[in-house]
Amino acid sequence: HRYVDNQGVPIVVKADGLAAGKGVVVATSLEQAHQAIEYMLTTNALGVKHNQAGACVVIEEFLAGEEASFMVMCHGDQVLPLATSQDHKRLLDHDLGPNTGGMGAYSPAPVVTPEIHSRVMREIIMPTIAGMKKDGIRYTGFLYAGLMIDAQGKPKTLEFNCRLGDPETQPILMRLKSDLLSLLLAATDDQAGALKDFPIQWDTRTALGVVMASQGYPLAPQSGEAITGLPPESADTMVFHAGTVTPQPGQGGKGEVLSAGGRVLCVTALGHTVKEAQKNAYEL
């Protein structure tokens, strides 16, 4: 608390442990920062799975800029960048709600210009791969760098994940024209260039996904609400299920779709511009 008072706001308070993407508070007032520390350390309202050391918080510098998600596939030294994307973090329209795991995303992220793309590969991704190698880690899989890109175009790393992002995955997969299984197989193939030179193809259009969340998300999401009106499949749209269940007759249900968790659906559509993709997603 004293440290936060000395630093002032804006400041970032993070739960040190798994919090399903909800453990970050970007505090713009001292009151908010102190409150976040209290509920992360004392009441554990987020249900954080604490690391072994027990309840800890990490307090970080507030970085201004635009966030982007930069994902690559790796197999040892071989690296294949995927399409860029950007997720939208805050609940409610006009950024009035708390930070979440992501309320929507689009791909590509125009903030990642070709120059910034090269810079991220050179200054962040390749040194990370080299660093892992030095530590004796030959990593195969998805590597996700969460970036903040400042007004001068300088990228800084906020986090790394060993997975694709949610909900960035949904628009990225909408744009992937290559066969996903062949791509995954290439990422386990030791032949030189199998992954690095994989002829990955993307739809040149923008894909945008809007998350439908349960009432009460992120703190106390409701479950078990019936979902109706799911649209039929189409080539340019897709409703991805995240927090749903369809209990069958033997399980006390009738095969209806029910919500089961915080982020329930990601309604995703392609369009020629971000605006058009957004319009198509909201229409869907």
CB of 73 to ligand GLY, least distance (A): 16
Site string for ligand GLY, 123-162 (x = CB under 6 A): --------------------------------------x-
Q: Which residues contact 139 (CB under 8 A, 6 or more apart)?
A: 74, 76, 129, 132, 162
Closer CB to ligand GLY, 103 or 187, in the complex: 103
Can you tell me which of 168, 171, 207, 238 binds ligand GLY, judged by CB under 6 A?
168
- Residue 3, sorted as left (phi over 0), alpha (psi -120 to 50) or beta, turns out to be alpha
CA distance linking residue 12 with residue 124, whole number of Å: 22
Site string for ligand GLY, 91-110 (x = CB under 6 A): ----------xx--------
Closer CB to ligand GLY, 67 or 236, in the complex: 67
Residue 21 phi, psi (nearest 5): 75, 10
166 contacts ligand GLY (rule: CB under 6 A): yes
CA distance linking residue 267 with residue 284, whole number of Å: 7
Class of residue 268 by CB neighbours under 10 A (exposed 0-12, middle 13-18, buried 19+): buried
244 contacts ligand GLY (rule: CB under 6 A): no
Site string for ligand GLY, 21-50 (x = CB under 6 A): x-----------------------------
Tokens (6 digits) for 185: 């197989």
Closer CB to ligand GLY, 78 or 214, in the complex: 214
Q: Which of 25, 12, 16 is nearest to 219 (CA)?
A: 25
259 contacts ligand GLY (rule: CB under 6 A): no
Q: Are strands 24-27 and 57-61 parallel, antiparallel or unpaired?
A: unpaired
242 contacts ligand GLY (rule: CB under 6 A): no
Q: Which residues bind ligand GLY (CB under 6 A)?
A: 21, 87, 101-102, 161, 165-166, 168
